[in-house]
Amino acid sequence: MLILSACSSSKPNASGSKSTAASSSVPALSGDPILLGQMAPTGTPTLDYADMKATAKAAVDGINKSGGINGRPLQVLFCNENANANDALACAREFVNKKIIAYVGGLSVTGEAQIAQLMAQAGIPMIGNNDLSANYKSADSFPVVGGHALSTYASVPACAQENKNKISIAAVDDALSQTFIKLWEDSIAKAKGVTLVNQPITIPADATDLTAQARALMNNGTECIVTSLREASTVLLMRALSQFGYTGKLLFSGAVLSANSLSQQADNLNKIGLAIQWFPPLTAASQYASLRQLQADLTAARAGGDNNAPSPDDFIRDPAMLAWVAVQAAAAAMKQTKAYTAADLAAALPTLKDVQVVDFLPPWTPANPGGTPGYVHLPAEIVYYTVGFQAGKGVLVPPNQVNIRPFLPVS
């Protein structure tokens, strides 16, 4: 289902409500809306990223309140791809039909390759998506962060900086995780003073009891368990480890746990939780003006009745924050180049250099060469944040940023 979200229009929006007239403090917008496309799975048994939809819309609303795109209104078209490759392809076709200017801040675990192919055929650039593999291989994809796979290069340093040097690996039982396991094994082999103390353990995505796996992972004095698991498995493993008195760290991606899981697992997180994130937590807002803007956008979204918008004082999953950042990146590119069609934006993106999108990421050069196998484009500096937990909230673990570019294999 395609859902339109826009602001500052005199026409009814998708829900039938009308927007209020611009006040003296809100710039008046004119012209046809510039359309962005976003898709993600929502409401499925295994994947629910309604927060991504909410943060992208919050970003659009905030941009429109600040003058839009050089006076024109911005709009995001959201499509639920239902964790289904056929639905993802249908969403992509709808984006082409609606003539979006860019596909931004999206996530499709099953349909990524088909989406990338169709966007390339239509000449639609892809900006800041939750790329897994296929999009990174596309010359039409312009990442703003290193993403899921490269976060593995930050995992071992994160354990080491906590003085946790005996490492075990737990990953979901699928083909993608085999790639992660290989990267972890290579990183451990190259790191000084770090050892892999147990054989990697793979866990079925639908497993409901992980007590045996928890015991096995704790063998041989494990101090840090690096993981690539779904949300439910991460929670189950955390509970089992805590029940067995594990005192090391359980390291997971900031893309995994929802605010609900974080709240329910606050005690366990405080004891053993450690996350690798693409972005700093909101508790660091005093250090970053862009985080304060995100908080303002989320506050406005929740005040407007969007219950899927994360709390501005809560932990936000990486994909949801990336959706907000991706909209900011697309907006910055359009404002700077005055490109208002997909063709014009696709031509303009490779010419941009050192665009300051947000202050918690290095300047963005969209077409910076990947420089590592499997990546056409990557940021020049690929930073990740190590995040611990206090009272169930994420807190930065110094040093705040880790640039993994020096650790990557060179193509």
Domain boundaries, the chain: 2-146+284-380, 152-277+385-407
Q: How confident is the model at residue 25 (pLDDT cuts 50, 70, 90)?
A: low
The domain made up of 2-146+284-380 has a fold known as: Rossmann fold (3.40.50)
| Greater model confidence, 226 or 134 | 226
198 closest CA partner among 184, 210, 208, 211: 184
Alpha-helical regions (H) of 273-358: 289-303, 318-337, 342-348
Percent over 90 (pLDDT), the chain:
70
Element (H, E) at 260: helix 259-264
Predicted local confidence at residue 13, as pLDDT: 35
| Greater model confidence, 64 or 373 | 64
Q: How confident is the model at residue 2 (pLDDT cuts 50, 70, 90)?
A: low
Percent over 70 (pLDDT), the chain:
92
* pTM of the complete model: 0.85
Q: What DSSP assignment string belongs to 19-65?
A: PPPP-TTS----SSPEEEEEEE--S-SS---HHHHHHHHHHHHHHHH
Q: How confident is the model at residue 5 (pLDDT cuts 50, 70, 90)?
A: low
What's the CATH number of domain 152-277+385-407, 3.30.70.2190, 3.40.50.2300, 3.30.1600.10, 3.40.50.720?
3.40.50.2300
| Greater model confidence, 225 or 109 | 225
- Per-residue pLDDT reduced to its tens digit, 192-230: 899 999 999 999 989 999 999 999 999 999 999 999 998
- Per-residue pLDDT reduced to its tens digit, 35-82: 999 999 999 988 899 999 999 999 999 999 999 999 999 999 999 999
Radius of gyration of the chain (CA): 21
CA atoms within 13 A on the CB side of 183: 22
